[in-house]
Amino acid sequence: MIKLFHGDCRKFLFNEIGADSIDLTITSPPYDEMRSYNNSSTWGWAEFCGVASGLWRVTKPGGVIVWVVGDATVNGSETGTSFEQVLAFKKMGFNLHDTMIYQTHKVPGNYNRYQPCFEYMFVFSKGKPNTFNPILVPCIHAGKSTGNSHTYFITDKHHGKDAVHKTHKFRENIWIITSGLDKKGHSSKYDYHPARFPESLAKDHIISWSNPGDTVLDVFSGSGTTGKMALINKRNFIGCEIDETYFKMSYERIKNSMGLLYQDKIITNIDKKRRKRKNN
């Protein structure tokens, strides 16, 4: 199932998406209006509260929200808006399950501080998360004697003097992800969105917090990265995008990721409007 909505996501969160129906949301809000997004919308505290309350409504008990966000710098200081949003989510009833870092390269600037290189990935849950499929990475001391190190590295098969380090461990919560752009700054026509997710960021969160057949939501779907990766990883997807240019971009990107037999399975609210006009 692929549903794409063109318009203000607050409307669709309350009118088009069922309550307690979303397993996982991966999204990124407009960041203190640091970008104009073709002047398609305004973003402030009232808009945030509307989106957050809508997400509470549609998220299943045990569902997860990955909220990727950063702060603007105003008059030389960071706004701290991201932290205000965290506290608002918590007051609403969400748990702050994990505070993660997305580290990447950013355009160099002249600051009276060190060069920015990360954004927050706040992981909220509605109660205890239903799903966690941890991504494993190799242990650098795999197979070596643990000596006096902590026992959480020890395998189940070895104890005492024979204890050895495990072969793999959970990935750390700082994810270093390059943008993947070519020398001209763009790797495809879909990269012309000003704040595109890296595909690996969306994919790794999708496989971590959901299972095949679950429903993934992106309320600021932009160029459709989350939708594409949800589809590739056999999840259902619902996307909302207010800007017409980016909505068309996400539609084409997701459609091109589907087999020819399945391209007519995309449902959009624009299609509904066209059918209604045709029937009238």
**pTM for the complete prediction?**
0.85
Same domain, 60 and 130: yes
Range of the domain at 212: 2-135+172-279
Q: Assess whether pLDDT exceeds 50 at residue 246.
A: yes
Among candidate residues 145, 170, 195, the one where a domain is terminated = 170
Same domain, 181 and 165: no
pLDDT digits (tens, 9 = 90+) for 122-175: 999 999 999 999 999 998 777 676 665 554 554 545 555 567 777 888 999 999
pLDDT for the residue 150: 52
Same domain, 55 and 147: no
Task: Measure the CA–CA gap between 190 and 246, rounded to whole angstroms.
Answer: 9
Q: How confident is the model at residue 114 (pLDDT cuts 50, 70, 90)?
A: confident
pLDDT for the residue 111: 72
Same domain, 274 and 141: no
Q: What is the pLDDT of the chain when averaged over all its residues?
A: 83
**7 and 246 in contact (C-beta within 8 Å)?**
no
Same domain, 185 and 214: yes
Number of H helices, E strands in the chain: 7, 13
Query: Per the structure, how many domains does the chain have?
Result: 2
Same domain, 99 and 155: no
Same domain, 36 and 99: yes
Same domain, 50 and 142: no
Same domain, 193 and 165: no
pLDDT digits (tens, 9 = 90+) for 183-242: 444 445 545 545 567 899 999 999 999 999 999 999 999 989 999 999 999 999 999 999
**258 and 265 in contact (C-beta within 8 Å)?**
yes
Among candidate residues 144, 170, 196, the one where a domain is terminated = 170
Paired with 136 in beta bridges are 170
Q: Assess whether pLDDT exceeds 90 at residue 102.
A: yes
pLDDT for the residue 168: 86
Q: How confident is the model at residue 33 (pLDDT cuts 50, 70, 90)?
A: low
Q: Assess whether pLDDT exceeds 90 at residue 11.
A: yes
**pLDDT: is 2 or 142 the higher one?**
2
Same domain, 273 and 157: no
**Closest to 25 (Cα-Cα) out of 177, 237, 253, 249:** 237
pLDDT for the residue 280: 46
Task: Measure the CA–CA gap between 223 and 248, rounded to whole angstroms.
Answer: 8
Same domain, 94 and 158: no
Where would I find the H helices in 169-224?
A: 199-209
